[in-house]
Structure 1
Amino acid sequence: MRANASGDRALIPATENGAALYTCRLRHVRTEPIRNDFTYRTYLWLIDLDQPPRMPGPLRFLAGFRASDHLGDPALSLRRNVDQYLAQHEIDLTDGRVLMLAGARVFGHVFNPLSVYWCYDRDGELRCVIAEVHNTYGGLHCYLLTPDELGRASTDKQFYVSPFIPIEGTYRMLLPEPGDRLALSIRLDQPGRAPFVASLRGARRPATPRNVLRTALRLPLAPQLVSARIRVQGIKLFLRGLKVIPRPTETVSGRR
Structure 2
Amino acid sequence: MRRAPLRYALRHRTYLWLVDLDHLPVLPRPLGLLAGFRACDHFTGQAPSVRAALDGFLGEHGIDLQGGRVLMLTHAQVLGHVFNPLTLYWCHDPDGGPRCVVAEVHNTYGERHAYLLHPDSNGAAQVGKDFYVSPFNPVDGRYEMWLPPPGEHLRLSIRLRRPHGAPFTAAVHGRRCEGTVPVLLRLLLRHPWPTLMVSAAIRCHGIRLFLRGLPVQPRPGRRNPESAS
2:188 matched residue in structure 1: 216
Residue 131 (structure 1) aligns with? 103
% same residue: 54
Distance 1:73 1:185 in 2: 27
- What corresponds to 2:158 in structure 1? 186
Which residue pairs with 2:119 in the alignment?
147
Q: How many residues align?
A: 228
Change (3 A) 1:75 1:81: closer
Task: Return the alpha-carbon distance in structure 1 between the equivalents of residues 90 and 224 of structure 2.
Answer: 22
Offset, 1:57: 1.4
Deviations 1:77-113 (A, max 9, x none): 1101111111111111111111110000111110100
Tell whether the 8 Å contact from 2:91 to 2:101 is kept in structure 1 after alignment. yes
Amino acid at match of 2:120: D
Q: Distance in 1 between matches of 2:44 and 2:225?
A: 9
Asked if structure 2 preserves the Cα contact closer than 8 Å seen for 1:73 and 1:255, the reply is no
Q: 1:225, 1:253 → 2: CA distance?
A: 23
TM normalised by structure 1 equals 0.86
Is 1:202 the counterpart of 2:174 in the alignment? yes
Does residue 59 of the first structure (1) align with residue 22 of the second (2)?
A: no
Cα distance in 2 for partners of 1:147, 1:243 equals 33
Following TM superposition, by how much is the alpha carbon of 1:209 offset from its aligned partner in structure 2, in angstroms?
1.2
The structure carrying a bigger strand percent of its residues is 1
Distance 1:85 1:194, change over 3 A: closer
Match of residue 81 from structure 2: 109
Distance in 1 separating the partners of 2:186 and 2:30: 14
Give ranges in structure 1 of 5+ residues lacking alignment: 1-28
Q: Unpaired segments of 5 or more residues in structure 2?
A: none
**2:136 is the alignment partner of 1:177:** no
Runs of 4+ displaced beyond 3 Å: none
Of the candidates 198, 207, 225, which is equivalent to residue 235 of structure 1? 207
